[in-house]
Amino acid sequence: MRRWGWILATFLLAVSAMGQESAQPAAPPAAPPAVQPVSTTPGLAVTPQTTQRTPVSIDQVVDQIIEREHALMAFLKNRTPLVETYLQNLTPDAKLGAVPREDHYFLGRLDMGDIVDRRDYLTKQMSFQQNLMGGVTKLFRIQYQPMGFSWMVFADRQNFDRSHYDFHYVHREFLGEVRCLVFEVIPKKNAGTGLFHGQIWVEDQDYNIVRLNGTYEPRPRNAFYFHMDSWRLNLVPGYWIPSYIYSEEGDFSYGSKDKEAFKAQSRIWGYDVMRNSRDDELTDLKVEAVKDESAVAQDLSPLEAQRAWQQQAEDNVVERLQKAALIAPAGDVDKVLQTVVNNIQITNDVDLPRPVHARVMVTYPLETFSVGNTIIISRGLLDTLPDEASLAAVLSHELAHIVLGHNLGSKFAFNDRMLFSDESTYQNFGFRHNPEEETAADAKAVELLKNSPYAQKLGSAGLYLKQLQARGPVLSALLTAHLGNGFADNKGQIIRLSALMGSAPQLDESKLDQIAALPLGGRIKLDPWQDHVEMIKAAAVSYTSIRDKMPFEVTPFFPRLTRLGSNATTAVNGPAADANAGK
């Protein structure tokens, strides 16, 4: 126990220093180094409420970590967030390093009160777990234990206690602006199979786990466990909510025996979907907002009635998609998108009876569609577009559908057509156009773009499509649109706005300064609790090798952790939007 005593001394100093910091809010917080050296500040009194919770020994800290982990499980047990996994199998490439060979996509609901996930958005028959393993089984021939996805959400759902694990304090470290204690967690001998082995980061106020990194062992016969890096965000007072998981297996470094490798991102969101029910809306209802605001009170003409009917259908669908947590609540990103649409409209003198709106679908697959006058664009697409001109090109196709009157379907004005389970959204909704309308929309889009402020910058849009074409055949999951028309046919050939490719520069993946498309995750940040999206504010990073470009690829997560309510800037040191993009 002598070793513990020494660690305890430094630990208590850390707590004291912390108390001192929070007692002086006027001092501007300096940028914390990645690893904080052990404080030499003499012990000072801590604030009263911290005193109550401050454990006096490492043992007590561990007790509190375990208690907080079980409290989190209890807190989330009635929640059924969405979980989305996008996985890329890799193959070695002499020039580009490991590149995607094929991809898989899974979207489902995670029942936090259960061990196994059952409900899936994409197919009714298979559970998310079977789907996940179905995709990976081909690779590793895995027969998966019935633990479901939740094994990567919590350290250990059933056995997270001292009788199954040893906890060793490692050091202190900042994750973002949150000071953490790092512990190594090791399963005890003969404590069972599939136990967590790795590191946990716990924040130093209440000792909630904020990050888990490791794998599970020993593996039972015929089972395989991934390595994972799992992050939580402080979205609710007192709780850190599982939000991102990065998994990776295999590598192709010299001498490695791995023949297969993959990397995968999982995102969890939609925790608070229950709260977005209509009951809440009723209590929030502002009468002003629904008042008839026309200058002169009058009856509707037949055409006006038709438009009001279409508006009702549009509102119904958008509201339903938001309730299913598939599109984010209206917010600032929408305004950026609407500005781009506006720029195209104004320069083309497009005058529509109803304004065009834009919303963000929060999923990976690259797709756009429009519902009435609302354009919906997926997060994956926003992430990978290199600049505003390419965004304008993508939006112009949907604006063209609106201008050409292709979105007049109003069957969703009947409210009974909104009555289906969230999981069956993709079976009940579809906003695809026939090939004739697609061709007409593309032609109109090019015409709109030529008269727009983006007319001279369309090379980047064409280059993006060329890059998509180059990678398309191995990214069929990313290219599969679920509600709208896809960018490519089923062989990965680009069919959307293909005219723009003709005037684009030649795609050259070995050219360092040619950034045709960005990695996934570089632009849009999603709040997993309330589903709000915002733009990532990442510092520009310059590329040093063509392997840095990673178009359409997934990368590890590195969210900048902050405590709820701290109003520090929310810079993200994540997969960064690139400096070279947009030139």
Residue 370 in contact with Zn ion, rule: CB under 5 A: no
Cα(118)–Cα(423) distance, integer angstroms: 11
| Closer residue to Zn ion (CB): 402 or 413 | 402
- The interface region with Zn ion, picked from 64-72, 192-200, 409-417, 477-485 by CB under 5 A, is 477-485
User: Count residues contacting Zn ion (CB under 5 A)?
Assistant: 4
The token duo for 21 is 């910091």
Asked if 551 and 518 count as a contact pair (C-beta separation under 8 A), the reply is: yes
Which residue, 66 or 441, has its beta carbon nearer to Zn ion?
441
Q: Which residues of 499-508 are buried (b: 16+ CB within 10 A; e: fewer)?
A: ebbeebeebe
- Which of 385, 577 has the CB closer to Zn ion? 385
Segment lying near Zn ion (by CB under 5 A), choices 136-144, 210-218, 256-264, 441-449: 441-449
Which is closer to Zn ion, CB of 130 or CB of 407?
407
Torsional sign, CA 519, 524, 527, 530: negative
Dihedral (CA of 490, 504, 471, 579) sign: negative
Least separation, in Å, of the C-beta of 393 and Zn ion? 13
Closer to Zn ion by Cβ: residue 156 or 438: 438
User: Which burial class, exposed, middle or buried, applies to 565 when counting CB atoms under 10 A from its CB (0-12, 13-18, 19+)?
Assistant: exposed
Nearest residue (CB) to Zn ion, 166 versus 437? 437
Q: How far is the CB of 520 from Zn ion (least distance, A)?
A: 22
Q: Which is nearer to Zn ion, 109 or 433 (CB)?
A: 433
Cβ of residue 329: shortest distance to Zn ion, in angstroms? 25
Cβ-based nearer residue to Zn ion, 273 or 402: 402
User: ∠ at Cα 201 (197, 206), nearest 5°?
Assistant: 125
Whether residue 488 contacts residue 353, with contact meaning beta carbons closer than 8 Å, is answered with: no
Torsion angle of alpha carbons 453, 459, 463, 469, nearest 10°?
80
**Closest CB 323 distance from Zn ion, rounded Å:** 25
Q: Which stretch binds Zn ion (CB under 5 A): 327-335, 439-447, 510-518, 546-554?
A: 439-447
Cβ 483 to Zn ion, closest distance in Å?
Answer: 12
What is the distance between the alpha carbons of residues 141 and 148, in angstroms, rounded to a whole number? 17
**DSSP-derived secondary structure letter, 68:** H
Q: How far is CA 99 from CA 92, 263, 424, in A?
A: 6, 10, 33
Residue 143's identity, in one-letter code, is: Q
Q: Which of residues 173-232 bind Zn ion (CB under 5 A)?
A: none
DSSP symbol at 173: E
Q: Which of 310, 378, 469, 485 binds Zn ion (CB under 5 A)?
A: 485
Q: Which is nearer to Zn ion, 316 or 485 (CB)?
A: 485
What is the Cα–Cα distance from 466 to 65, expressed in whole angstroms?
50
Site for Zn ion in 138-177 (CB under 5 A): none
Token pair in block for residue 104 = 């898989």
Residues numbered 418 to 437 that lie near Zn ion (CB under 5 A) are 433
Closest residue to Zn ion, based on beta-carbon distance: 485
Q: Which is nearer to Zn ion, 307 or 401 (CB)?
A: 401
Rounded to the nearest whole angstrom, what is the least distance from the CB of residue 471 to Zn ion in the complex?
A: 21
Token duo for residue 22: 């929070």
Output the smallest distance, CB 237 to Zn ion, in A: 44
Q: Which residue has the tokens 């502002």?
A: 286
CB of 433 vs Zn ion, minimal distance in Å = 5
Q: Closest distance between Zn ion and the C-beta of residue 440, in Å?
A: 9
Q: In the complex, what is the shortest distance from the CB of residue 402 to Zn ion, in angstroms, rounded to a whole number?
A: 11
**Sole residue written with tokens 């280059």:** 463
Q: In 3-state terms, what secondary structure has residue 524?
A: strand
Binding residues for Zn ion, per CB under 5 A? 433, 438, 441, 485
